[in-house]
Amino acid sequence: MAHPAVGDLAPDFSLSDTHGTPVTLSGLRGGPAVLVFVPFAFSGTCTGELCELRDNIADFEQAGVHVAVISCDPRHSLRAWAAQEGFGFDLLSDFWPHGEVARAYSVFDEAKGHAVRGSFLVDGEGIVRWSVVNPPGRARELSEYRSAVAALAAA
């Protein structure tokens, strides 16, 4: 199954945030959102990526882009990770049914049981406007997010 392509309607979902509150993609409509799939809470590369997003969150907020991080970890682990690192954006648990949303975006590694590093920028109507999926161990570049957000704002 292929990843949702630019121009495709992004698969809707409902996942719990770190406090158990449901967050749906359709509920975020009206403004853009970037969905950031990560393999594991507390891992080095994932923590580095999210700390960079945290430290540059103004780039997203000024453009009105909602940041939502999705992991197959349980929400309690995600809550501890968010508290430890001071993440102010949504961390959503795709724990059960395990990896269901990651599968919908074709970023679930069936052999290892976790999401791979995929990001999708979705506009206010739910259409994918940019995506990147990186191989294991390769962090996503902040410059790629910035370019995608700038292109969306210019459209």
Active site (annotated) includes residue 46: yes
DSSP-assigned letter for residue 9: B
From the candidates 23, 28, 46, 53, give the one annotated as an active-site residue.
46
Spatial neighbors of 114 by CB under 8 A, at least 6 apart, are 39, 40, 71, 72, 99, 102, 108
Residues 106, 127: Cα–Cα separation, whole Å: 16
What is the DSSP annotation of 77-123?
HHHHHHHHHT--SEEEE-TTTTTHHHHHTT-EETTTTEE-EEEEEE-
Taking the C-alpha atoms of residue 111 and residue 116, their distance in angstroms, rounded to an integer, is 11
**Catalytic (active-site) positions:** 46
